[in-house]
Amino acid sequence: MALTIEEVRKIGQLARIELTKKEEKRHAETISAVLDYMKILNEVDTADVEPTCQVTGLEDVWREDVPLGCNIRTELIKQMPEVESNELVVPAVFE
């Protein structure tokens, strides 16, 4: 499938890429070669091929997502220089 220079210009415009005349010609040739290769791949008979998402046989190891208790808040509060109602007291930013 040969891609025309006009089609390459349109693609460049959509991608917001400025192409020189030399680049337009080169991209028309290379994209056409890729499309020709894809045409060959489309002709391959895959009717009896089972769809796969991976072929290694490896599986993810999952664990139950269980929340655990955490006493970090009380430990942090103990380390704060000034505490009021279990919250850190800081200097005022606004008057």
**Residues 39-57 pLDDT 10s:** 999 999 999 988 888 888 8
Q: Is residue 73 part of a domain?
A: no
14/35 Cα distance (integer angstroms): 19
Q: In CATH, what number is assigned to the domain containing residue 21?
A: 1.10.20
Q: Is residue 14 part of a domain?
A: yes
Average pLDDT over residues 27-45: 94
Q: Which amino acid is at 71?
A: N
How much is the pLDDT for 29? 95
Average pLDDT, the chain: 90
Range of the domain at 31: 5-42
Q: Is residue 25 part of a domain?
A: yes
Angle at 39 between CA 30 and CA 35, to 5 degrees: 20
User: How many domains are contained in the chain?
Assistant: 1
In total, the chain counts a number of residues equal to: 95
pTM for the whole structure? 0.49
pLDDT at 25 over 90: yes
What's the alpha-carbon Rg for the chain, to the nearest Å? 31
